[in-house]
Amino acid sequence: MIIGMKNKIQKLKNQSFGGKRVKGLQGRWLRNTLSIVLALVLLCVTSLSVMVAAYYYSNMQAGMEAKARSGTRFFETYLSSSYNEYYQSCAKFAQTFESKDVMELQFVNTDHRIVASSYSRLSSQSVSTTDIAQAIETKTIASFTGTNPATGERIISVSSPLIYSNGEVIGVLRYVSSLKYVDRQIMQFALTVTLVGVLMLIVVYASGRYYVKSILAPVSEITATAKRIAAGGYGVQIKRQFDDEIGELSDTINDMSNKIAMSEKTQSEFMSSVSHELRTPLTAISGWSETLLDAGGSVEAAEARRGLNIILRESRRLTSMVEELLEFSRMQDGRFKLNVTMGDIRSEFEDTVFMYGSRLQQETIRLEYLENDEDIPEIPCDTSRMRQVFLNILDNAAKHGGEGGKITAEIHTDGEFVVVGIRDFGPGIAEEELPLIKKKFYKGSSKARGNGIGLAVCEEIVTMHGGTLDIGNAEGGGTLVTIRLPIEAE
């Protein structure tokens, strides 16, 4: 577990936000945020400019078309006159044209030549815009927006056909207006919108820079702390400055730092405990082996038997410790498996109690089985693993509560569960240690022998059966361990 946490810290260190990484964040922000805002500004400027231009051009065209229609209706009275009278009326109408300051009035013949104009200097000039030919051909009003081929100036023109009484088009009434001032207004509008867009970009950039810096400063501090943790400074804490995701990240790293420090301490205590637990039986085995070897045949039979019993007992103790360590190792790497079949859990429990009871008699501890006549059905379980759980809990009761001189054991059903209870009458467990008692390597304040992984293995076995293992202080003193196993498989 400690190695896994160290690896996480190292990954955090490798993915730190300091140095070049900070520039990377700023660069990504500039590319992502500002590029999107810039694209939106350009889109808005272009769209608004196009809409304003279309609005101006369409209004101008609509006004000029209205004038062309009214002018055409006015000249209908002259279209039956002679050409000379028609020409004179055109010239007079052009000279008296009231809107000559904003647009030009032209009378164009079918050869595309100006026969009369409100600008007299343009008379007799040839005109080649498409609106004239279209008006003559279709006998309807036509318009043109673009560059005047003769002057290179941008113009808008509207041409209305003058139709003689026999249906023949004898000329075109044409209104022409320069787009110079309109285009200037549109350009000013576009520049204004662009300026607003630039100001928006500046505001977004400034606020974004401030926001990014407000993130980078605490992240840099978190990075520095993470490096300290990765270098071995377990337990180092980060001061929480913000009540947001940065704050949550700080809390997470603080929690991880505390857990690593606690795991490091627990692991160190575990190694010390295991070393001590191994040294004691090994010393006894080694000492008695040397005694028996050195004594040769002179040692008395009773003394030799005593030494061999000690060697046998301590060897079994070593074997039990190694088996617990192996079980724990299997739990850690996922190789811990159950062989579940329908089993008589009551029979397994009673056999374990009676077998262990005879052993406890040698230690002047009475193991009392609280019998009942309740019918307990077979349940899906791994009987050998459950026997291991029962033995471990009974052994813990003897080690930590044996001074009470008595242990009780019972089994019964409670609804859909089989319930096993094992109680000792010792001093019990300190309230502050109850939440930690089942954690791996935890031994608490007890001075009894053990490596602190037995209960963790027991809880894992019970949990894999779909049950629960609870440890608490019993009324009247002592510790009560309650195991609940489902009668039917989940």
For residue 156, which phi and psi values (nearest 5 degrees)? Answer: -130, 130
Neighbours of 53 (CB within 10 A): 18
Q: Where is pLDDT greater, at 460 or 262?
A: 460
Average pLDDT over residues 471-487: 90
Summarize pLDDT for 334-359 with one digit per residue, the tens: 667 788 899 999 999 999 899 888 87
Q: Which of 449, 424, 451, 284 is nearest to 356 (CA)?
A: 424
Position 457 pLDDT exceeds 90: no
DSSP state of 177: E
- Tell me how far apart the alpha carbons of residues 486 and 381 are, in angstroms, rounded to a whole number: 9
What is the structure's pLDDT at 140?
Answer: 92
Quote the strand ranges of 118-164, DSSP E. Answer: 142-147, 154-163
Dist CA 6 CA 229 (whole Å): 9
In this prediction, residue 274 carries a pLDDT of: 66
Local confidence band at 433 (pLDDT 50, 70, 90 cut-offs): confident
Q: How far is residue 242's CA from residue 221's CA, in Å, rounded to a whole number?
A: 13
Q: Which amino acid is at 4?
A: G
* Predicted pLDDT of residue 156: 92
Q: Give the pLDDT of residue 412.
A: 94
What gap in Å lies between CA 452 and CA 255, rounded to an integer?
23
Structure tokens at 450: 């053990």
Q: How far apart are CA 232 and CA 126, in angstroms?
A: 93
**Among 304-313, 330-339, 398-407, 456-465, which range has the highest average pLDDT?**
456-465
Helix ranges (DSSP H) in 76-179: 83-95, 130-138
Kind of pairing, strands 154-163 and 169-178? antiparallel
Q: What are residue 431's DSSP bridge partners?
A: none
Alpha-carbon Rg for the chain, nearest whole angstrom, is 51
The structure's pTM equals: 0.45
Count of H-run helices and E-run strands, the chain: 11, 12
What's the whole-number mean pLDDT along residues 413-433? Answer: 89
Q: What is the mean pLDDT of residues 456-464?
A: 87
Report which of 211, 143, 182 is spatially closest to residue 53, judged by C-alpha positions.
182
pLDDT digit string, tens, across residues 209-235: 777 777 777 777 777 777 777 777 666
For the ranges 20-29, 67-76, 356-365, the lowest mean pLDDT is seen at 20-29
Q: Which residues contact 340 (CB under 8 A, 6 or more apart)?
A: 380, 381, 382, 465, 489
pLDDT for res 300: 72
Give long-range contacts, CB 8 A cutoff, 24+ apart: 152-158.
153/178, 153/179, 153/180, 154/178, 154/179, 154/180, 154/183, 155/129, 155/179, 156/57, 156/60, 156/61, 156/64, 157/64, 157/129, 157/131, 158/61, 158/64, 158/65, 158/67, 158/68, 158/131
For 113, which DSSP code?
A: B
Tell me which of 383 and 21 has the higher pLDDT: 383
pLDDT digits (tens, 9 = 90+) for 131-146: 999 999 999 999 999 9
Q: What are phi and psi of 171, to 5 degrees?
A: 175, -175
| The two three-digit tokens of residue 114, written as one number | 């100006």
pLDDT score for 6: 47
Question: Domains along the chain?
Answer: 81-179 (3.30.450.20), 245-333 (1.10.287.130), 341-486 (3.30.565.10)
Segment among 245-259, 267-281, 302-316, 400-414 with least mean pLDDT: 267-281
User: Residue 10 pLDDT more than 60?
Assistant: no
- pLDDT for 122 equals 55
- The whole-number average pLDDT for the span 310-325 is 76
Whole-number pLDDT of residue 440: 62
Question: Cβ distance 119 to 100 under 8 Å?
Answer: yes
What single string gives the DSSP state of each residue in 319-367? HHHHHHHHHHHHHHHT------EEE-HHHHHHHHHHHHHHHHHTTT-EE
How far is it, in rounded angstroms, from Cα 467 to Cα 359?
28
* HSE-CB of 322 using CA atoms within 13 angstroms: 9
Residue 153, judged by CB atoms within 10 A of its CB (0-12, 13-18, 19+), counts as: exposed
Q: Distances in Å between the alpha carbon of 454 and those of 120, 143, 150, 304, 328?
A: 115, 97, 103, 33, 9
CB atoms within 10 A of CB 241: 13
Residue with tokens 């009560």: 480
Q: How many CB atoms lie within 10 A of CB 57?
A: 17
β 406-414/366-369 pair status: parallel
User: What confidence tens digit (pLDDT) does each residue in 51-101 have?
Assistant: 998 898 899 889 989 988 888 887 776 656 666 676 777 778 887 788 888
Instruction: List, as one string, the DSSP characters of 441-483.
Output: T--TT--SS--S-HHHHHHHHHHHTT-EEEEEEPTTSSEEEEE
